Every structure is written in C-alpha cells, then in structure tokens.
Amino acid sequence: TMLMAVLERRKEIAYLKCVGAGKGDLLRLISMETLAIAVLGSAAGTLGGVLLSPVFGNVMRRFIAAYLPSGAIAKPDIGIAFLAFGVCVVVGFTCSLYPALRAARIVPMEVLRNE
C-alpha cells in the first residue's frame, strides 16, 4: 500500500525536508506517484475488462444460457468502461491523501536520529 511505501521511505522524505521540501511538495510527490499508479492500474483493468468481456460472454452463453433471459449476455460498453476508469482513478487519488499527509508530517530530526 502507499502508506507502507511512505513508511519505508521515511529517511528519504526526511532528507527531502532537510534540503527544503515543504509539506506541499511532499503532498504533491506522494499524490502524483499514487495517481500514476492508479491511472496505469485503471487503464490495464479497464482494457482487460473490455477485451475479456466477449470471452466471458461466450462462457456464460454456454454454461448458464438456460437461466438467463434472451440477450442478457455481457457486452462491452465504452461508456461504462470510461466510468469504471474514472471511478478507479478518483478512488486511488483519494486514498493517497492519508499517506501523503503522513509524509508531510514527518519530523526529519526524529527520523534521522532513529535510523
């Protein structure tokens, strides 16, 4: 998780603060790293979902078609794909705020003294 990444990089963050990085710089750094991970993961997941949707549709058609009403097989919808992508990016970015705030509150002298 990003919180674990921040905790593992406490010494690096302490050095950044010692050379003049402010809270805003650290918030931006951690948030942008998390946003990049969220965008790449969301893109891969959305693309995989769109590409594999017809495959799962065929599986559903073969094994459970008797239980489904006609036409109830999964079909890729680009609007839903973009919605899923956007929701994943927003959730990923929102979840980055707590680790970024933890990084911004690191006291450099305490970290460097203890490590």
Asked whether residue 85 is assigned to any structural domain, the reply reads: yes
Assess whether pLDDT exceeds 70 at residue 13: yes
Tell how many helices (H) and how many strands (E) occur in the chain.
6, 0
Asked whether residue 7 is assigned to any structural domain, the reply reads: no
What pLDDT is attached to residue 70? 63
- Domain residues for 31? 22-106
pLDDT in tens, 49-108: 888 887 877 777 777 766 766 655 566 778 888 998 999 999 988 988 899 998 888 899
User: Could you tell me how far CA 87 lies from the centroid of its own chain?
Assistant: 10
Asked whether residue 12 is assigned to any structural domain, the reply reads: no
Specify the pTM.
0.75
Asked whether residue 43 is assigned to any structural domain, the reply reads: yes
> Which stretches within the chain are classed as H helix?
2-8, 10-18, 23-64, 78-95, 97-104, 108-114
pLDDT in tens, 14-49: 999 999 999 999 999 998 999 999 999 999 998 998
What pLDDT is attached to residue 40? 94
Asked whether residue 72 is assigned to any structural domain, the reply reads: yes
What pLDDT is attached to residue 57? 74
What pLDDT is attached to residue 86? 92
Asked whether residue 5 is assigned to any structural domain, the reply reads: no
Work out how many domains the chain is built from and give that number: 1
Tell me the CA distances in angstroms from 100 to 20, 47, 75, 96, one per residue in order: 17, 29, 39, 6
| Spatial distance between the Cα atoms of 70 and 98, rounded to a whole number of angstroms | 47
Asked whether residue 16 is assigned to any structural domain, the reply reads: no
